[in-house]
């Protein structure tokens, strides 16, 4: 899909060469190869090139051994470095990723540009029982929700193993919502474990997502160890905005861990530790106050509001 997207972008860039010049061109990685197209446009038309790194795609592929050829990894890193050196501004979504980028391209201008959320679109709803019934669950059910990409780097099989451990809690339901290449394997694992407390749901329409997220009693933000500081979970912003109670897997040295702990806005668990995940979910289900939920909503309003983030970004971009 990355290749087909890049081909489509190549056609658009080629056609734009014969039109009025744009002052700047912004590309978002992944796919990181779109940066090459931006470099070409910059060289020919003289525009500023802003490179936003949403995910350090090659690092994640190398760390998770999704690409095993060292020669290919080395070649891809060279292309990435070439792109970064020619960007007028690089931005990214977490301090951990910015540190990695600075190692790759120390002379580059780098700005923090986190994922944002519209706190007027995503907000808390108190009537969870009504929402649960609307999605086919009983009012007394406790819903644990994972909503997002279903890929290898998330390590989502852990959810099914926890569901198996807690299967005697008949009111406890686990939902895995989304799409991705790993979904079929998870469905096969569910069948192998004969789980009746796990439900797969498709991606939800944007206009219903706030209600859907508010339905859950506990949200899961799960990643493998090596991905935890390279891939800042974009799903977390909406969870925080709705005042969701999130169980988040992150190693203690990661920026994600430090942010969540310092703001007391989630329950942390060690990545790829099945027992730790299960215990964290049980702890979340047994919360008796709304402190974490309130902290989550407050953090979203103060630091993740779309208006504030775009204002800071626009003040730092080198247009002139």
233-285: pLDDT as tens digits: 778 999 999 999 999 999 998 888 989 999 999 999 999 999 999 999 999 99
One of 3.40.50.2020, 3.30.70.20, 3.40.50.2000, 3.40.50.720 is the CATH number of 2-116+306-316, namely 3.40.50.2000
Within 10 A of 260 (CB to CB), how many other CB atoms are there? Answer: 24
Looking at residue 1, its pLDDT comes to 60
Measured CA distances, 10 to 37, 47, 84, 161, 262 (Å): 7, 17, 19, 44, 44
Signed CA dihedral, 221, 165, 176, 289: sign only = negative
Residue 104 · residue 80 · CB < 8 Å: yes
Both tokens assigned to 125: 């709803």
Q: Is 90 a residue whose pLDDT tops 90?
A: yes
So what's the pLDDT on residue 153? 66
Neighbour-count burial for 166-175, b at 16+ CB within 10 Å, e otherwise: bbeeeebbbb
DSSP code, position 227 = G
Count of residues for the chain? 320
Q: Alpha helix locations (H) across the chain?
A: 2-16, 34-45, 57-63, 70-85, 95-104, 128-134, 157-165, 183-193, 209-215, 235-241, 255-263, 274-285, 291-303, 306-316
Whose structure tokens read 């994600």?
256
Per DSSP bridges, beta strands 142-147 and 267-269 are: unpaired
C-alpha span between 230 and 110 (Å, rounded): 16
Q: How far is CA 284 from CA 125, 217, 271, in A?
A: 19, 8, 17
CATH code, residues 128-303? 3.40.50.2000
pTM of the predicted model as reported, rounded to 2 decimal places = 0.77
**CB-count exposure of residue 33 (10 Å: 0-12, 13-18, 19+):** buried
Kindly list the domain boundaries of the chain, sorted by start residue: 2-116+306-316, 128-303
Q: Is the pLDDT of residue 4 over 60?
A: yes
Fold match between 2-116+306-316 and 128-303? yes
CA angle at residue 87 from 81 to 91, to 5 degrees? 90
Q: Using pLDDT thresholds of 50, 70 and 90, give the confidence band for residue 192.
A: very high
DSSP state, 148? Answer: S
pLDDT of residue 320: 56
């Amino acid at each position: 899909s990355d290749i087909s997207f890049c081909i489509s972008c190549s056609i658009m860039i080629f056609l734009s060469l014969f039109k009025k010049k744009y002052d700047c061109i912004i590309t978002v990685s992944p796919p990181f190869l779109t940066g090459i197209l931006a470099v070409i446009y910059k060289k020919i038309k003289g525009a500023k090139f802003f490179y936003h790194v949403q995910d350090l795609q090659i690092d994640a592929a190398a760390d998770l051994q999704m690409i095993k050829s060292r020669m290919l990894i080395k070649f891809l890193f060279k292309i990435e470095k070439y792109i970064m050196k020619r960007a007028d501004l690089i931005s990214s979504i977490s301090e951990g990723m910015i540190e990695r980028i600075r190692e790759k391209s120390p002379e580059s201008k780098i700005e923090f540009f986190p994922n944002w959320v519209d706190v007027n679109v995503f907000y808390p709803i108190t009537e969870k029982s009504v929402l649960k019934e609307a999605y086919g669950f009983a009012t007394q059910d406790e819903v644990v929700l994972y909503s997002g990409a279903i890929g290898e780097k998330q390590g989502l099989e852990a959810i099914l193993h926890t569901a198996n451990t807690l299967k005697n809690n008949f009111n406890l339901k686990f939902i895995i919502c989304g799409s991705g290449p790993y979904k079929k394997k998870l469905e096969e694992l569910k069948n192998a474990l004969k789980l009746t407390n796990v439900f797969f749901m498709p991606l939800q329409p944007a206009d219903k997502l706030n209600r859907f997220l508010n339905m859950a009693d506990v949200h899961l933000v799960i990643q493998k160890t090596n991905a935890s500081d390279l891939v800042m979970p974009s799903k977390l912003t909406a969870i925080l905005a709705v005042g969701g109670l999130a169980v988040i897997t992150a190693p203690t040295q990661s920026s994600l861990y430090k942010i969540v702990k310092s703001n007391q806005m989630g329950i942390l668990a060690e990545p790829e530790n099945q027992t730790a995940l299960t215990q964290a979910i049980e702890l979340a289900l047994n919360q008796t106050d709304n402190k974490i939920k309130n902290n989550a909503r407050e953090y979203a309003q103060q630091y993740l509001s779309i208006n504030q983030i775009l204002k800071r970004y626009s003040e730092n971009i080198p247009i002139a």
